[in-house]
Amino acid sequence: MEVTFENCDFNNPKHREALLLMMDEYMTDPMGDAEAVLDKNQQLQLIEGLANHPSCLCVFVLYKGEFAGLSISFINFSTFKVKPYLYAHDLFVRVGFRSKGLGKQLLQRLVDISNERGYCKITLEVRNDNRVALYLYRELGFTDTDPAMYFWTKTL
C-alpha cells in the first residue's frame, strides 16, 4: 500500500526524528512563517510536552514507507454539545510529497478517528492566504463558523 498512517510513539527514535524534521520544515515553510527553527533544547521540550500532554494525538502519513506528513491535534470538550471534539492544531505535508492527495488523506484520517470516537466536531485554524489549505478544508466539508468568528491571541 502506498499510503499508511501511524500514530506517533514518542518513545520511538524514528518517530521522534521524523516529527522534529517535519516541524523544522513546517516552521520554515511560507505558511509556517516562523523566524527560526527550534533549538535542541526546544526540540526536547516539544517531544516531552507532546508525549506528556493528556489529549495529544499525533498522526503521521507515510508514502511508500517514508514519513511524508503529520498532524498534531488535541482533544477538547464542547460545553454546548457536551461531547469531546478534535482541534487539529498542525497539519503539514513535506514539500517533496505534495500534490499526491496526502493532506486530504491525513485530514480524512482525523475525520475517521473523530467519528469512531464519537466526537461532535473538528476545529482548526487556517491562514486566510493559505489557498491550498482552504481548498482542501472546503473539499472535506469544513466551513467557516456561522456567524463567523475571529481567532484571537494574547502572546504571554
Q: What is the pLDDT of residues 134-151, one digit of tens each?
A: 999 999 999 998 898 888
pTM: 0.93
What is the C-alpha to C-alpha distance for residues 103 and 22, in angstroms, rounded to an integer? 14
CATH 3.40.630.30 fits 3-139, yes or no: yes
* Residues 123/88, Cβ–Cβ less than 8 Å: yes
The residue written with cell numbers 469544513 in the block is 142
Q: What is the pLDDT of residues 5-58, one digit of tens each?
A: 999 999 999 999 999 999 999 999 998 888 889 999 999 999 999 999 999 999
* Residues 148/113, Cβ–Cβ less than 8 Å: no
What is the C-alpha to C-alpha distance for residues 74 and 123, in angstroms, rounded to an integer? 10
Position 120 pLDDT exceeds 80: yes
Is 70 in a helix, a strand, or coil? strand
